[in-house]
Amino acid sequence: MSYPPISEQLDDPEGAREEGRRKIDWASGHMPILAALREEFEELRPFEGQRIAMAMHVEAKTAALTETLAAGGAEIAIAGCNPLSTHDDVSAALDANENITSYARRGVEGEEYYDAIEAVIDLRPTITVDDGGDLVFRIHEEHPDLVDGIIGGCEETTTGVHRLRAMDEDGALRYPVFAVNDTPMKRLFDNVHGTGESALANIALTTNLSFAGKTVVVAGYGDCGRGVAKKAAGQNARVIVTEVEPRRALEAHMEGYEVMPMREAAAKGDVFVTVTGNRDVITREHFEAMKDGALLANAGHFDVEVNLDELSDLAANVREVRDGVMEYETDDGRRLNVLAAGRLVNLAGPLALGHPVEVMDQSFGVQAVCVRELVAAHSGGLRDRLAERLRERLGRSDRLEAVGEDTYGPGLHEVPDALDREVATVKLAAEGIDIDALTDEQADYMDDWRHGT
Ligand code: NAI
């Protein structure tokens, strides 16, 4: 029997749809980049005939992206990309759109999680949009026959890009995928500000505890860690950073944070936030050194950063002390509190809403122009119409360079910078912010290596 869409799984799909629709409308109303792209897609219908398979955190902002792509004529199937990040009401509201089937449901794990992904793959996609890479890997492993029909994909997060890069280096990635995560419009805002704000907000909401005066240990000083550290310091916490990369460690030091190995930080921290994309960052030797009452949260993509198996082995007692907080009591009476089952705290906590809407407008704006770019690369007609449209909207010919100019062979691709600049330009216009433009003389000066003292 095939896996049913969410509407067939819920007791009150109608009620869920209404609530989901309210959430989507609120988010969409604060996403000017997607609104501008939706208008363009409704007019040009670039995705007519395309089938888009998506595996994402199915909440209101993702729904706005999904509906924007559907407005361009795509047929879409979507599943979750994490067992705890789906909002069932949003999923039900999406499923009510005649061009969208949503299989995402909160709380599905293991086999059922992959059943939903399989149902999405049944669409026989021409394009994939992924967060974490599970969809791309499943297609390559279980459905290699579909690869020839796929014109390309987009990957949202660092961990997914990391996996795809490894796949590409092995020559195993058989269709083009854009590394959306790596664009400035995504990374410098979503990872830094989005993760920083939403991870801390969700730790505070889940525990009702303050950061002021506490010691927050941030494991990993990449884009996400940088944001978590900055915002924790902004809430009057002392911040300790742990790293394995010497330049990142030095950067954290120069920002004024204490830097030390986890084995030392373990005894000092009141709150731990892992954002490494790696496994076993906090393990038994660290649990053994921690203070009574320590809070442990993960904001990295997978639930492997805090080793919960080792913590369970150490615990004499485990109980849920608050929604989303599991207390592990050790033999010597210390209580260590794990938030959101060690999954992405900003998306999987009981009250989690994910990143702020404005930030996701940018990330998903890049996703939407990347999907458009994949299609434009295969269609001269669309390419010309888009070029005209962009010229009208942006009035600058340099933005047009990237539109469908490449056919993108199999492998991981950087997003053309012009597309990223297009998204930034739309956002600045929506914010009513004007900026200077280079004069011809300035542009020549910048390009000419002969100028010196
Ligand atoms: P990044 O690659 O910029 O930074 C990760 C940092 O962790 C690197 O500096 C690396 O040296 C360090 N690291 C690796 N192993 C470590 C260890 N054992 N101990 C200490 N540091 C270690 O990656 P980015 O963009 O900061 O992403 C981190 C994770 O967060 C990824 O899994 C990504 O997918 C996820 N992510 C989560 C979001 C959310 O909503 N919670 C949003 C965006 C990304």
Question: Identity (one letter) of the amino acid at 94?
Answer: L
Report CA(268)–ligand 1 centroid distance (Å): 22
Q: What is the pLDDT of residue 396?
A: 52
User: What φ, ψ does residue 187 adopt, rounded to 5°?
Assistant: -60, -45
Range(s) for CATH 3.40.50.1480 in the chain? 6-182+371-430
Q: Tell whether the model's pLDDT for residue 406 goes beyond 70.
A: no
CA pair distance 122, 71, nearest whole angstrom:
21
* Confidence band for 399, pLDDT divided at 50, 70 and 90: very low
301 is known to lie in a ligand binding site: yes
How much is the pLDDT for 384? 79
Please check if 329 is assigned to a binding site.
Answer: no
d(CA 58, CA 362): 17
* Per-residue confidence (pLDDT) for residue 394, from 0 to 100: 62
Residue nearest to atom 11 of ligand 1 (CA): 245
**pLDDT bucket at 405, cuts 50 / 70 / 90:** low
Contact 259, 246 (CB under 8 A): no
Please name the fold of domain 6-182+371-430. Rossmann fold (3.40.50)
Rounded (5°) CA angle 270-275-280: 85
Higher per-residue pLDDT: 390 or 202: 202
Cβ atoms of residues 324 and 206 within 8 Å: yes
Handedness of CA 218, 220, 225, 226 (dihedral sign): positive
Residue ranges of the chain that CATH labels 3.40.50.720: 191-343
Going by alpha carbons, the residue nearest to atom 38 of ligand 1 is 195
Consult the annotation and say whether 283 binds a ligand: no
Q: What is the mean pLDDT of residues 423-440?
A: 93
Helical (H) or strand (E) element with 441: helix 440-447
> Is 224 annotated as belonging to a binding site?
yes
Ligand 1 pocket mutation pick from 275, 279, 339 by most atoms within 8 angstroms of CB: 275
Q: What is the mean pLDDT of the chain?
A: 94
For the chain, what percent of residues have pLDDT higher than 70?
96
pLDDT higher than 60, residue 257: yes
Task: Sheet containing 176-179: give its strands across.
Answer: 100-102, 75-80, 51-56, 127-130, 152-155, 176-179, 411-413
Q: What pLDDT is recorded for position 1?
A: 66
Residues with CB under 6 A from ligand 1: 157-159, 191, 195, 219-225, 242-245, 248, 275-278, 281, 299-301, 344, 346-347
267-273 average pLDDT score: 98
Average of pLDDT values for 147-159?
96
pLDDT-based confidence at residue 400 (cuts at 50, 70, 90): very low
Architecture of domain 191-343: 3-Layer(aba) Sandwich (3.40)
What separation in Å is there between the alpha carbon of 270 and the centre of ligand 1? Answer: 21
CA of 132 to the centre of ligand 1 (A): 13
- With the most atoms of ligand 1 within 8 angstroms of its CB, the residue from 224, 250, 301, 357 to mutate is 224
Q: Whose CA is nearest to atom 23 of ligand 1?
A: 222
Asked whether residue 402 carries a pLDDT value surpassing 90, the answer given is: no
Over the stretch 16-38, which tens digit does the pLDDT of each residue have? 999 999 999 999 999 999 999 99
Query: What's this model's pTM, rounded to 2 decimal places?
Result: 0.92
Residue with tokens 């790293």: 243
Q: Is 190 annotated as a binding residue?
A: yes
